[in-house]
Structure 1
Amino acid sequence: MFNLTNASEGSNGRLGVTQTPFLVLWKQADGVLFYPTVIILVFAVLGVVTNILNIIVFIKMGLQETTTVSMLALAVSDLICCIMAFWTYLCYVPAFRDMPGLPFQSIEVSLETGQNFRPYVIRTGALITAFIALERCLCVMIPLKVKNIITLPITRATIVIVYIITIVPYIVHPFLYKLDWKFFPSLNRTMVGSVIRDDPIAFFFLVFNAYLCGFSYLLLASGVVLVCTLFLVITLVRSSRWRESMRKQAQVSTEKSVDLNASRNRREDRLIKMVVAIATMFIICNTPGTLVMFIVSVSEEYIEEERFLPSTLLLQACLFAFETINNSMNFFVYYMIGTRFRLLFRQLIGLKEDNTSF
């Protein structure tokens, strides 16, 4: 969420105004960061396991349906986010951070190898979630035409484009930051840390990426997901009322056709419920980050002042926790709502289930 490399050891340049060593300030915030860090690490491990399971099950399902392809792409981005979250906050744990003989300054290294890359992948997942919600809305609005609009090749191409426009901008970071040996006065040691390069062009693109990938993409995805979720919820309510009405009006002579229609409607409703659940978690977990990004964009001096750094670190940890929870919970949605997903998962772990419907 925030690039705190500017608060590195003794920095006082364009990218940082901190006078007190960053490690000293971080140790002062250890107490308030304990619980958010534990939550992040626990859910990051959970997310790594569940998203690996998601990927395996989706591959077993076959990538012949657009929704399956999109959810597989979402699982990949969530897996990367969980790995980055675990590595980042493992480096913040005092037992690891202060380990004697560690050849690198863990916080600065984690910024360049995890935290700075993770927001780009978060935006990837956000745009894929928006695409999944939009596709499901089109399936409801124009069910006879949507298969010709959102085909399998178009879905695959869209996923590739989303990954390109969200992750490729990260290449500007190596032109502005690099990992190299540097002296840390507070530790009286030379260790591998983050070194800031003086590259005005790279700095300009970094700021541009912060607004494009950090705010614009997330705001766009959140808006699409919110509108689509409201539409799908209304559709579910109407569908539930329609089925109840049909159940009351069904005649013995048409019971078979009614049952077939009901079966197709239940399958569609399960897909809608699945998308609504994923979208709702996305909205709940990412709305705080969107609001904070907007606040930071209009009051950047908040994270430039040393006295605000502990509260900034706590805020960042809380937002990390929300995002990591979102990245780790989709498996439970798929398992509870998707009968085919549940069947294949139970087969994967050696269990059997009689229900073979989707």
Structure 2
Amino acid sequence: MLIIFAISLALNLHLSLKFPIGWKFFPQRNRSLLGVLPIDDFTILTLDYVRQAIFSLILPVFTSVTVLFSTILLSVALQNSKSWRDANKSVVKTKDTSGQELSAVDSKEARAVKMVIAITTVFIVSSIPSSIHIIAVTTVPEFEVNGRYSNLYALTGMAFLIVDSLNCSANVVIYYRMSTKFRRALRSLFRLDKPC
């Protein structure tokens, strides 16, 4: 939690550079008070470009790569765990619907891998529209609210917000369909298990 706070604080330090606070003389009061100091336009533009590069390009790419890499690592770790158990044959065997013997732990891990891959796929697919929008904002000069392509800007902006909202909704549906513990907890929370 402290790490997340530190990262959030560090990413918002540009605000203190954009609006520097210092002692400023106020002739009406004939005294110096703390206030926002003037700053030149070049510094403001530079800070805006840096902020846009960090929040629009670097962070989305970093999070997508991190999610993809973590999913691959988790899948490989679960596969290695399954291979190790298969080599030692020390788990209780059960039968699945096709009649083949299957380890209870293996089926849980297989469901977990499928769920993680499904959530990762939904995340990556839903981040594509926002990435395209952000790249267009960064590279096309007139692609802005009051620019030449303002209608396209509004359309793509709304599209990526809707797709991001669908991403959040899809995660709940995926968890509900694939996780029995989540399903039980959700049904218990909304009292869907008990008759009225």
What's 2:56 paired with?
Answer: 214
What's 2:190 paired with?
Answer: 349
Higher gyration radius (CA): 2
Kindly tell me: are residues 317 and 304 of structure 1, through their superposed partners in 2, closer, same or farther at Cα, counting changes over 3 Å?
Answer: closer
Q: Does 1:225 align with 2:60?
A: no
Q: Do 2:91 and 2:103's aligned partners in 1 also have CA atoms closer than 8 Å?
A: no
2:175 equivalent among 317, 324, 334:
334
Give the whole-Å Cα distance in 2 for the aligned partners of 1:301 and 1:219. 24
Matched to 1:302, the amino acid is F
Q: Does 1:284 align with 2:125?
A: yes
Q: Deviations over 1:17-62 (max 9, x none)?
A: xxxxxxxxxxxxxxxxxxxxxxxxxxxxxxxxxxxxxxxxxxxxxx
Matched to 1:319, the amino acid is F
Give the whole-Å Cα distance in 1 for the aligned partners of 2:91 and 2:62. 45
1:210 positional shift? 1.3
1:324 positional shift? 1.5
Q: Do 1:289 and 1:319's aligned partners in 2 also have CA atoms closer than 8 Å?
A: yes
Question: Which is strand-richer, 1 or 2?
Answer: 2
Q: Do 1:166 and 1:213's aligned partners in 2 also have CA atoms closer than 8 Å?
A: no
1:278 positional shift? 1.5
Q: Does 1:258 align with 2:99?
A: no
1:166 positional shift? 4.2
Alignment of structure 1 residues 252-331 onto 2, 5 Å: 257-259=92-94, 262-303=103-144, 306-331=147-172
1:316 positional shift? 0.9
- DSSP-derived class of the 1:300 partner: coil
Matched to 1:345, the amino acid is L
Kindly tell me: are residues 256 and 204 of structure 1, through their superposed partners in 2, closer, same or farther at Cα, counting changes over 3 Å?
Answer: closer
Q: Do 1:285 and 1:326's aligned partners in 2 also have CA atoms closer than 8 Å?
A: yes
1:230 positional shift? 5.6
Question: Which is helix-richer, 1 or 2?
Answer: 1
Kindly tell me: are residues 235 and 288 of structure 1, through their superposed partners in 2, closer, same or farther at Cα, counting changes over 3 Å?
Answer: farther
Kindly tell me: are residues 329 and 291 of structure 1, through their superposed partners in 2, closer, same or farther at Cα, counting changes over 3 Å?
Answer: same
- Relative to the length of structure 1, the TM-score reads 0.38
Q: Deviations over 1:224-274 (max 9, x none)?
A: 3334446667888x79x98xxx8xxxxxxx897334x82222222232222
Kindly tell me: are residues 203 and 233 of structure 1, through their superposed partners in 2, closer, same or farther at Cα, counting changes over 3 Å?
Answer: same
Structure 2, gaps ≥5 residues long: 20-37, 95-101
Q: Deviations over 1:308-344 (max 9, x none)?
A: 1122111111111111111222211111111111111
- DSSP-derived class of the 2:103 partner: helix
* Greater RCO (Cα-Cα under 8 Å, separation 6 or more): 1
Give the whole-Å Cα distance in 1 for the aligned partners of 2:92 and 2:45. 64
Q: Do 2:187 and 2:193's aligned partners in 1 also have CA atoms closer than 8 Å?
A: yes
- Relative to the length of structure 2, the TM-score reads 0.63
Structure 1 vs Structure 2 CA RMSD: 3.8
Q: Do 1:172 and 1:202's aligned partners in 2 also have CA atoms closer than 8 Å?
A: no
- How many residues are aligned here? 163
Q: Do 1:176 and 1:203's aligned partners in 2 also have CA atoms closer than 8 Å?
A: no
Give the whole-Å Cα distance in 2 for the aligned partners of 1:264 and 1:279. 22
Matched to 1:268, the amino acid is E
Matched to 1:350, the amino acid is R
Matched to 2:153, the amino acid is T
Q: Do 2:92 and 2:104's aligned partners in 1 also have CA atoms closer than 8 Å?
A: no
